[in-house]
Structure 1
Amino acid sequence: MPEEDLVELKFRLYDGSDIGPFQYPPTSTIGMVKERVVAEWPKDKKITPKSANDIKLINAGKILEISKTVGQCRVPFGDLPNAVITMHVVVQQSLAKTKTEKKVDEVPRKQTCHCSIL
């Protein structure tokens, strides 16, 4: 694949540090990109994702869908040559952890009704 067709991406983490830049063909899916971000995640960070499902990629204010391709998500900026696109990475809690926390915090509540008839 010609090098000018590749899209160069870097990923900004929660603390302002970056991963990358890496080059991707426009046909790469966001799911593939997320897998690489998790694989390249710095080991010294306090918050680390366990899988690609634990992170969200944000570009131009939009959360990118896993099924979309890099080419579909690229926002044209006047076709700047050799421009590196910065995507923000947000680490979200896994659903399993959130569910267990809810079970601990659940307190039986009394059902009450406060009706007023005028």
Structure 2
Amino acid sequence: MPEEDLVELKFRLYDGSDIGPFRYSPASTVATLKERIVTEWPKDKKISPKGANDIKLINAGKILENNKTVGQCRVPFGELPRGIITMHVVVQPSVAKAKTEKKIDEAPRKHICSCSIL
């Protein structure tokens, strides 16, 4: 693939720091990007993903789907010169953990009410 066909991406983390930039083929999937982010994640961060499923990627205000390609996710910029595209990374808890926490929060609570009628 010719060098000029590659898309240059960097990933902005919650604290404003970046991972990348890296060059990707337009045929690379969002799932591939997420896997790379997990492997490149800085070890000194307080919050870190345990796996690719803990990450959401946002580009131009849209959450990207895992099965979409980089080429499908690019926002057309008309005649602007090629540059680095910044995607935002959101770390979210895994679904299993979120469901467990929700079940705990939804457990029935006993309310004790002491009322007196005068």
Query: With structure 1 as the length reference, what TM-score do the two structures score?
Result: 0.86
For residues 29 and 107 of structure 1, the distance between their equivalents in structure 2, rounded to whole angstroms, comes to 40
Equivalence for 2:16: 16
| Structure 1: segments with no counterpart, 5+ residues | 111-118
- Greater Cα shift, 70-79 or 34-43: 70-79
State the AA in 2 paired with 1:97. K
Aligned pair count reads 110
For residues 55 and 47 of structure 1, the distance between their equivalents in structure 2, rounded to whole angstroms, comes to 11
SS in 1 for 2:34: helix
* 1:86 and 2:99 correspond: no
Equivalence for 1:49: 49
State the AA in 1 paired with 2:69. T
* 1:27 and 2:13 correspond: no
- 1:36-75 maps to which residues of 2 (within 5 A)? 36-75=36-75
What is the CA distance between 1:78 and its match in structure 2?
A: 2.2
What is the CA distance between 1:18 and its match in structure 2?
A: 0.3
SS in 1 for 2:50: coil
For residues 106 and 76 of structure 2, the distance between their equivalents in structure 1, rounded to whole angstroms, comes to 48
What is the CA distance between 1:65 and its match in structure 2?
A: 0.5
For residues 36 and 108 of structure 2, the distance between their equivalents in structure 1, rounded to whole angstroms, comes to 44
What is the CA RMSD across the aligned residues, in angstroms?
Answer: 1.5
**Shift in CA distance, 27/79, structure 1 to aligned 2, threshold 3 Å:** farther
Query: With structure 2 as the length reference, what TM-score do the two structures score?
Result: 0.86
